[in-house]
Amino acid sequence: MSDIILETRGLTKHYGGVHALDDANFILRRGEHVAIVGDNGAGKSTFVRQITAVEKHTSGEIHFDGSNVEFKDPLEAREAGIETVFQTLALADDLDVPSNLFLGRELFRLRLGPFSILDRKAMRERTMEALKTTAVKIPNVDNPIRNMSGGQRQCVAIARTAAFASKLVIMDEPTAALGVQETAQVENIIRGLKERGVPLILISHNLRQVFDLVDRIVVFRRGRIVASLNKDETDGNDIVSYITGVKSGGDEPAFA
């Protein structure tokens, strides 16, 4: 078994004339935690959407868990073992917390095809367990999440991902809307994933957090990967100069 869990070769996405992602060659090893950093519009979320088959990529290949994959929809990507916290969260506002946590993978009391009977009690119990790991404050999980704060909603999305984490976890700016305590808790969840050996792609604008949590930092700039640096061999200033374009990928070996 190869020690590479995810590899993209020449992954490219154009929206009409917009080159949102160009020729991305990316490697993630088993158990490895990698951060993706870059300015707004650098193509980070676009990269995630290609891997998780939310969108069809323009060209390039994705290899996951030893085979060349061509997921036809997000369900297939998830069934293959990729759990994602999307930047847009992908929550249904009119549903309560347990329904959102188990959206698309409900637990059943009785299987009757589309009319399978939900096991609401089990889903609720497992939701409470999952939420405890995020230390989120939610007054009543049975309310629709429409009225919840941005941070509460984010914790729901993170709890969902952490609870079902299997082969690969991707988090797109998971702590963007969170308070100090909740951020610390999410960082703990990420450390827990590391201990369990679950590989992670973390997208974040918070360099302190990135240096705290991951093994390697990949810098995106204008749709291209311009640097891939081991945490120990770089520092904040170095990363910032790649993000802003003061340094460019041509100067050094760009990636492993």
Ligand X SMILES: Nc1ncnc2c1ncn2[C@@H]1O[C@H](COP(=O)(O)OP(=O)(O)OP(=O)(O)O)[C@@H](O)[C@H]1O
Residues that bind ligand X (CB under 6 A): 15, 18, 20, 38, 40-46, 87
Output the smallest distance, CB 178 to other proteins, in A: 13
Q: Which of residues 60-89 bind Mg ion (CB under 5 A)?
A: 87
Pairing state of beta strands 168-172 and 33-37? unpaired
The amino acid at 66: G
Output the smallest distance, CB 137 to ligand X, in A: 26
206 binds Mg ion (CB under 5 A): no
Distance of alpha carbon 226 from alpha carbon 237, whole angstroms: 15
Output the smallest distance, CB 202 to Mg ion, in A: 12
Residues 21-60, mask of contacts with Mg ion (x by CB under 5 A): ------------------------x---------------
Length of the chain: 256
User: Helix axis angle, 180-196 relative to 150-164, nearest 10°?
Assistant: 10
Q: How far apart are the first and last CA of the chain?
A: 19
3-state secondary structure of 96: strand
Distance of alpha carbon 191 from alpha carbon 44, whole angstroms: 22
Q: Which of residues 85-144 bind other proteins (CB under 8 A)?
A: 86, 88-95, 99, 103-106, 108, 112, 114-118, 120, 128, 131-132, 135-141, 143
15 binds other proteins (CB under 8 A): no
Q: Looking at the DSSP assignment, which residues form a beta bridge with residue 36?
A: 203, 218
With contact defined as beta carbons under 8 Å apart, do 202 and 213 qualify?
yes
Tokens linked to 227? 């640097």
Residue placing its CB nearer to other proteins in the complex, 91 or 226: 91
Q: Is the dihedral of CA 71, 76, 77, 80 positive or negative?
A: negative
Output the smallest distance, CB 169 to other proteins, in A: 15
The amino acid at 51: I
Residues 22-41, mask of contacts with other proteins (x by CB under 8 A): --------------------
Residue placing its CB nearer to other proteins in the complex, 50 or 228: 50
Output the smallest distance, CB 249 to other proteins, in A: 31
Closest CA to 184 of 162, 209, 157, 151: 209
Which residues sit at the interface with other proteins, rule CB under 8 A?
Answer: 52, 54, 73-75, 78-79, 84, 86, 88-95, 99, 103-106, 108, 112, 114-118, 120, 128, 131-132, 135-141, 143, 146-147
Which residues sit at the interface with Mg ion, rule CB under 5 A?
Answer: 45, 87
